[in-house]
Amino acid sequence: MKHKNIAYAVAKAALLCIISTTTAFGSGFALYEGSAAGNADTAGVTAKGGEPGAIFFNPAGITTVPGTQVQGGVSVVAPKAKVQGVNPYTGEKLSAKGRNRVWPLPHAYMTHQLNDDFWLGFGIYTRFGLGAEFHEDWFGRYNNTDAKIVTFILNPVVAWKASDSVSLSAGLSVEYFDITLKQMIDGAGAAGMRNYNDPSPSPFDIRQEMDGDDFALGFNLGITLKPVEKLSVGAAYHSRIKHR
């Protein structure tokens, strides 16, 4: 199962009918909060390294980190959502607010310089996650009441300082992926007692929940170039990871 397919399915289920809500939460499934220092540097650490958190952005950058160093932190995301719609059967205008949630996003990194040429590193972080939760009686409950994606990645890496101007890295990505989807089923509509999936409140709704989790493997590659003293260039590639 591809990340983009899962994210699209969850976003669609969680925020069906409202484009603005999709926009608000769509960016939430790709997270770039792997290092407070790296984010403050506008991800410039991708090119210049200088901290263990470079493992998240571009592990080739750890060749600029001397000795043995450890770095950790937590980022906090608190998304909010307000949804508006119309009852297709009565024309009544409807609105709902998502439940306020706080999502802690921890990360930790360790680097060790073996010699003048090679470095080892290990990172624990997340690249995808968050979700949307609404009350079980909201008007979009037959599409979704709760949708969550939780992931974390274990990322051992090795970096080689090929020369003073070129560094290369390779790493293994071990990703854990957990997904939860909850929705209500219109029992009254299914029994012919009213219009099917009428968003009006109903005491005959039935809860439905789907859960799944998986471990899968991927890899990452990185390179940093320093053609002149005051110019650094970096690039990193993270392979596609499929979950089943």
- Domain assignment present for 21: yes
Q: Is the pLDDT of residue 75 over 70?
A: yes
Measured in residues, the chain has a length of 244
- Tokens encoding 18: 């409202």
Q: Which of 174, 180, 172 is nearest to 213 (CA)?
A: 180
pLDDT, tens digit (0-9, with 9 covering 90-100), for 31-59: 566 766 666 665 566 777 788 989 998 99
What is the pLDDT of the chain when averaged over all its residues? 82
- Domain assignment present for 79: no
Q: What is the CATH number of the domain that holds 7?
A: 2.40.160.60
Q: Is the pLDDT of residue 18 over 80?
A: no
Question: What is the predicted pLDDT for the residue at 150?
Answer: 87
Question: What is the predicted pLDDT for the residue at 36?
Answer: 65
Average pLDDT over residues 60-81: 89
- Domain assignment present for 179: yes
- Domain assignment present for 66: yes
CB–CB of 47/64 below 8 Å?
A: no
Q: Is the pLDDT of residue 206 over 50?
A: yes
Q: Between 74 and 42, whose confidence is greater?
A: 74
Q: Which of 151, 110, 148 is nearest to 130 (CA)?
A: 148
- Taking the C-alpha atoms of residue 112 and residue 107, their distance in angstroms, rounded to an integer, is 17
User: Which amino acid is present at 215?
Assistant: F
- Domain assignment present for 94: no
- Domain assignment present for 198: yes
- Domain assignment present for 206: yes
Total structural domains within the chain: 1
Kindly report which listed range (42-46, 117-121, 205-209, 226-230) carries the lowest average pLDDT score. Answer: 42-46
- Taking the C-alpha atoms of residue 239 and residue 22, their distance in angstroms, rounded to an integer, is 26
pLDDT, tens digit (0-9, with 9 covering 90-100), for 91-130: 889 888 888 888 888 899 999 999 999 999 999 998 877 7
Residue 35 has phi, psi (to 5 degrees) of: -165, 125
- Domain assignment present for 81: no
Q: Between 200 and 119, whose confidence is greater?
A: 119
Q: Is the pLDDT of residue 29 over 80?
A: no
User: Which amino acid is present at 234?
Assistant: G
* Residue 228, CA distances (Å) to 66, 157, 231, 233, 239 in order: 21, 26, 5, 10, 30
Q: Which helix (H) or strand (E) holds 154?
A: strand 146-161
Give residue 16's domain range.
3-74+101-238
Q: Is the pLDDT of residue 147 over 80?
A: yes
